[in-house]
Structure 1
């Protein structure tokens, strides 16, 4: 038998450089509205491969249903409030985190009251940016404690006169962690439970207390002195 007649194994060679066999999970996609290319590049660099930052105009953010969170960078307060208002009217479920200069608590209060879910200053560190995005995507608000406390004071009399409720030790633990600004993942880790169980606890508390979101839970916990302030990260 000649070399050309020898039996060859019926195996298709595998290209070692191919990645088709093991697709990588897609990154989280968020939008960013900014007129500053360097700030966009810096944000993309900070968030790395786990969060893909897509440059968008406000109109594109309204139309892109694949984006559920958008960073809005605008130092002009009136323009920023106008963008937030347009998002609230056009896409109420779109979560908005704003970027801007260091401002007073009254300005941040206006921005959060307008519908933003977070405010970061240009001096915020990379860790604050990552945590703010995680907290907001998890359904909470990233704002100084003083702002959230002030918003609690502005609630209607009906909201303030909820009946007294009793909570189990586990429910109190979850409320304490929520009031400290922790995400479901954080709560799961600190209580040695899985994330699904943490979400279940939060959902039950929402129904029990009768508030629409995690911020309402945190405010209730502070008001009823289930926990002692602060309410949320970061400090302010």
Structure 2
């Protein structure tokens, strides 16, 4: 009897990334990318359509997607289908998002530049009910458990505040951030004011220097 194939839904808004990931996973005889989605709402629709008779074993989910981003979709998936493992993908270093993802119930966190063998191993592990944690993620988690990352500075920011914080410190304007996150500019400005207050900075220049000091 042939081994059970792992059915994967791939959620990423960049076609070239999806094609690359599909190629990596296609080399594994026991993994099948059975569906793709380009935004958060489509991920949820695809999961709902496939979770029954068709079957689905793992969701590979990008963090940075238009509209509802990966962490919001992760929360929705965990609420509706708590037994479905979600492996988060990102271009951001582990110290930025890994702990947030694991706390929200992700089965693992993987950088898109990860070695293909690690990618395959991660899918297999979470499909088998495990949690995939890289050494860098394990270190970040240990620092939180040890109290080294108390809720100050970036750790005190909500998820949406952290999104705005990251974009502000990357040089994006309020209007650009609003367009990317699908928020009104005045809403972004409100988030910006909260971020400045929580980080103890007065303007975007100080905020950028703050981000550099904190490795964010």
Shorter-normalised TM range: 0.5 to 0.7
How many residue pairs end up in the alignment? 132
1:102 is displaced (CA, Å) by 2.6
1:30 is displaced (CA, Å) by 1.1
- The residue that corresponds to 1:68 in the other structure is 57
Question: Mapping of 1:1-236 within 5 angstroms?
Answer: 27-48=5-26, 49-54=29-34, 55-56=36-37, 57-58=42-43, 59-65=45-51, 66-75=55-64, 79-143=69-133, 144-150=137-143, 152-153=145-146
CA distance in 2, matches of 1:104, 1:74: 12
TM-score (norm 2): 0.54
CA 1:141–1:150: 2 relative to 1, 3 Å:
farther
- The residue that corresponds to 1:204 in the other structure is none
Query: Is the 8 Å Cα contact of residues 62 and 87 (structure 1) preserved in structure 2?
Result: no
Query: Is the 8 Å Cα contact of residues 24 and 116 (structure 2) preserved in structure 1?
Result: yes
Query: Is the 8 Å Cα contact of residues 68 and 93 (structure 1) preserved in structure 2?
Result: no
1:25 is displaced (CA, Å) by 6.1
C-alpha offsets along residues 147-174 of structure 1, whole Å, 9 cap, x if unaligned?
Answer: 34246458xxxxxxxxxxxxxxxxxxxx
1:123 is displaced (CA, Å) by 1.4
Could you tell which deviates more after superposition, 42-51 or 118-127?
A: 42-51
CA distance in 2, matches of 1:63, 1:151: 37
1:138 is displaced (CA, Å) by 2.3
CA distance in 2, matches of 1:119, 1:92: 17
1:75 is displaced (CA, Å) by 2.4
Query: Is the 8 Å Cα contact of residues 90 and 111 (structure 2) preserved in structure 1?
Result: yes
CA 1:153–1:88: 2 relative to 1, 3 Å:
farther
CA distance in 2, matches of 1:95, 1:150: 24
Query: Is the 8 Å Cα contact of residues 85 and 114 (structure 1) preserved in structure 2?
Result: yes
CA distance in 1, matches of 2:8, 2:93: 25
Greater helix share, structure number = 2
Query: Is the 8 Å Cα contact of residues 10 and 59 (structure 2) preserved in structure 1?
Result: yes
User: Which ranges of 4 or more aligned residues in structure 1 deviate by more than 2 Å?
Assistant: 23-28, 74-78, 147-154
CA distance in 2, matches of 1:137, 1:104: 21
Give the SS at the match of 2:130.
coil
The unaligned stretches of length 5 or more in structure 1 are 1-22, 155-236
Structure possessing the higher radius of gyration over alpha carbons = 1
RMSD (CA atoms):
2.5
- The residue that corresponds to 1:206 in the other structure is none
